[in-house]
Amino acid sequence: MARASGAGAPRAPDGVHPGLGHTIASMAGAQPPVPDAATPAPRPAVVTALQAAYGAPSQSGFGSAAFHQALAPDAGLEQAALAAYRHFVGDAWQRWGEAAWRAPWREVHHRDPGAPADIVAELRGISDPEAARSAPMILEAIEGAEAAVAALAAAFDDPAVTELRVFNLGDGGAMSGIEVAARRTDATAVLLVFLMD
């Protein structure tokens, strides 16, 4: 699988994707989730490893990309996930229409509070038929799968993760995928978008 290239994608020095907070805010009709977006928490090493394996933030609309976004404690994780998805799809969001991209969007898994953190088992256990076809791809059909899965587990099984949700996504036609979204104790979200045809 060719992962989405983050080459040339702008990133703030601390690794929090610039502009995504604005996208989240514009979708929610509010201000960016963290008022002082210029000084968010530094990018954790687990996010650096995740981006090395799955790609840095991009608008390629194909493959995968990992985002690290400032997220206030009272901001919705689903809104952050939807904004990262929209950003990843890029111009195709408008070209093909929001209705097409939103039609398959739904939560297919959430980690219950206090449940053991095992993202690999959680992805393998997804029962939604569409998402169940995409989930193994994020684990197996990636260059350097063993290292990628280790980075995935390190990022999403990290004790700093307080909320984890997985969403189904696609264009209602040829494109399908999933997004793993996690809220962290440092007022950030880690978002992994995977989209293939």
The parent domain of residue 103 ranges over 20-196
Residue 173 lies in a domain: yes
Contact 193, 152 (CB under 8 A): no
pLDDT of residue 128: 94
pLDDT < 50 positions in the chain = 1-39
The pLDDT tens digits for 183-192 are: 999 999 999 9
Residue 116 lies in a domain: yes
pLDDT of residue 118: 97
The pLDDT tens digits for 81-129 are: 999 989 998 888 788 777 877 788 999 999 999 999 999 999 999 999 9
Residue 7 lies in a domain: no
Residue 73 lies in a domain: yes
pLDDT of residue 40: 53
Contact 17, 159 (CB under 8 A): no
Residue 103 lies in a domain: yes
- The tally of domains found in the chain comes to 1
Element (H, E) at 64: strand 63-70
Residue 9 lies in a domain: no
Residue 40 lies in a domain: yes
Residue 5 lies in a domain: no
Neighbours of 95 (CB within 10 A): 10
pLDDT of residue 123: 97
